[in-house]
Amino acid sequence: MTKPRFPLYAQILLWFFLNLALVGAVLFVVLRYQFNVGIDSLLTGKVDERMEAIGETMSAELREAPRDGWEDIVDRYEDAYRVRFQVLRPDGEQAFEGVGSEIPDGLREVLAGMFPPRRDDPPRLRLPGDGPPGRPGPAGRERRDSPPGGKRGPTRPLAIYQERAGNPSQYWAAVHVQLANREFRHPPDGIIVASSARASGNRVFVDWRPWLWAVLAVLAVSALIWLPFVHRVTRRLRRLTEAAESISEGEFDVEVASDRGDELGRLSRAVQRMAQRLDRRACRLCHLMFGDIRRLGWITEHAHIHRQNLAALRSNAITNGTSAL
């Protein structure tokens, strides 16, 4: 079984990305155990801003719609953001007829702190038409649909709650909005609550797009920094490899010398010197071999002449001996 081969280019990039992952893991551990910041806090950091933006658009539609049309508006926002929305009164009860779910105790405590019931008020918040216009609301605040000195527009929504709570555990977020509208007799204050069993898969608790763009930006910047360096290193090594293969085939006329001041430059100059020395030694060996061949040819030629002379002498000796007999 042959081992898989990876080019040096890929190996360097692989180790670089592994290094990035290790740095990210160490940073997460430090944030988690030193500053008590978990993955939920990192991923849901912008929930307050998203809830305030949702509350601003949703409350504007709720104010201009009758109470029996609120359910359609809430359903449309649930489909768009893929979470469950509820519209509550300050006492934590549903503001319109619909199927609701039990809110966590932490949210009820926040609402009780924001809207403490007065001794002379019933627990449920009174609607604008239930009493004299302009009657003060909870905690002595005037109703926002009839402030002194004339009518005033609604203020910006304010995020008041964000937590993972309940059994089974869910992600919760709430924003305080103003819903007052005399025409439809809406309550002056409302609480828009979002809940989801998972932090991911929706557009309220986790929005992956900023994280995706951040990761892509880090990779792009890293590539712009590292790719030219890796390309220069691998290009030099590729030239050295080709030169070594040429030298092994007996071709010593290579040019790999470099003026780099690092180890690759030293290696390139060393390979160049080695090729030049091998070329000189090969030339010297060729000259020696040529001289030996010339001497061997002279010896062979004279040996042939001596062999012919000996053959002639032998033939003459035989002829003379035969004549004497």
Q: Could you tell me the residue ranges of all domains in the chain?
A: 46-206, 214-312
Please tell me the predicted confidence (pLDDT) of residue 118. Answer: 61
Strands laid side by side in the 158-165 sheet: 84-88, 189-196, 170-178, 158-165
The DSSP line for 255-312 is: ------SSHHHHHHHHHHHHHHHHHHHHHHHHHHHHHHHHHHHHHHHHHHHHHHHHHH
The DSSP line for 136-165 is: B-GGGPBPTTS-TTS--PPPPPEEEEEEEE
* pLDDT above 50: residue 146: no
Regarding pTM above 0.75, the answer is no
CATH code of the domain occupying 46-206: 3.30.450
Sign of the C-alpha dihedral, residues 197, 96, 92, 159?
Answer: positive
- Nearest CA to 170 among 146, 141, 194? 194
* pLDDT above 90: residue 54: yes
Q: List pLDDT tens digits, range 73-85.
A: 999 999 999 999 9
Please tell me the predicted confidence (pLDDT) of residue 60. Answer: 92
Locate 156 and state its tokens: 């910006």
Q: Around 53, how many Cα atoms within 13 Å sit in the side-chain half-sphere?
A: 8
Q: List pLDDT tens digits, range 188-246.
A: 899 999 999 887 778 888 766 677 788 888 888 887 888 888 888 888 888 888 888 88
> For 134-158, what is the mean pLDDT?
49
Locate 317 and state its tokens: 């000796």
Q: Assess whether the previous peptide bond of 168 is cis (omega < 30° from 0).
A: yes
